[in-house]
Structure 1
């Protein structure tokens, strides 16, 4: 069965991403078409790029990198839940992506953004970053407004219409993950 990681792309104290990721995960597991797991960057405590060799070498010196590598390598696809900070994704998510290379290749990705404008610019940056790592980003995406989908900018209350967006995005993520699995084998 396809394994999809729902990656919480922020490690900021008081972050909204954990609630958003749990909502996506809860909707996803009801589908029964793949195995979905929450992947919290906070659990990996990745510092800012402390490996002496480039990620493309695949030779990791530090235990935290090897642990992160194993987690990403075990997945067939990803749903990146990203905040929009200063018109881009979080530094923690960018660093986590940069730690690895081959582990990302020929896998599918969906995107859920949140912010003032729904995180759309963060998603666009992620698409560019991940394309370089040979990750196929699917077209449907979910954009959540910090004004409309959060009470007091912190209590997540998504509009019901977003569930259809999640469904469409996950349909493509699973389809692409199945197709790309044949490329990786």
Structure 2
């Protein structure tokens, strides 16, 4: 049986973004487990217009250019770990827009989060968990929260994320739960 394919979704498209650092770091940790085929899915590679469809893609095929490619990418994956910047106590607009451009493709798959910001992206992740439930995903409890002090040390080049032991422990907890859900839901979808 082939390994489940998981996508590390880079939840920011901003120039000079921090998101590449946690995306690479969690991808390396997920690959090290040896249970997954891991792919970084960068929202920059899927430019979607601001959502202006007739209806949710749950009911009507999307008409926007690029929407089908995005939906096909999401459908090809068995689970997702999303990097989540926190802007004004919520996830980025581009991430929310990308979530809205798919529906059935998300269903019955696990999702985990690596957040960063003043309180480690906790408020953005809390909102993303609610959205994930509506999209019929299974959000895992454990997450990685890169708080401001750790963020600044990494952003300024003083440390790398892998140098910060409590973040490594949080990542291991996230990946342990995520792995269980990937196996369970992949088996259930196949049945």
The reply to whether TM is greater than 0.5 is yes
Task: Normalising by structure 1, report the TM-score.
Answer: 0.93
2:170 corresponds to which residue? 165
Structure 2 CA distance, aligned partners of 1:128 and 1:23?
25
Structure 2 CA distance, aligned partners of 1:120 and 1:58?
33
Contact 2:53/2:63 (<8 A) preserved: yes
Aligned length: 185
2:125 corresponds to which residue? 123
1:45 corresponds to which residue? 47
Cα deviation per residue 1:76-125 (whole Å; 9 max; x = unaligned)?
Answer: 10001000100111100000000111000000011110001111001100
Higher strand share: 1
Structure 1 residues 52, 174: CA separation in 2 closer, same or farther (over 3 Å shift)? same
Which sections of structure 2, spanning at least 5 residues, go unmatched? none
The range that moved more, 88-97 or 151-160, is: 151-160
Q: CA deviation at 1:26?
A: 1.4
Structure 2 CA distance, aligned partners of 1:174 and 1:183?
14
Moved segments of 4+, more than 6 Å: none
1:20 corresponds to which residue? 22
Which sections of structure 1, spanning at least 5 residues, go unmatched? none
Structure 2 CA distance, aligned partners of 1:149 and 1:93?
20
Task: Normalising by structure 2, report the TM-score.
Answer: 0.90
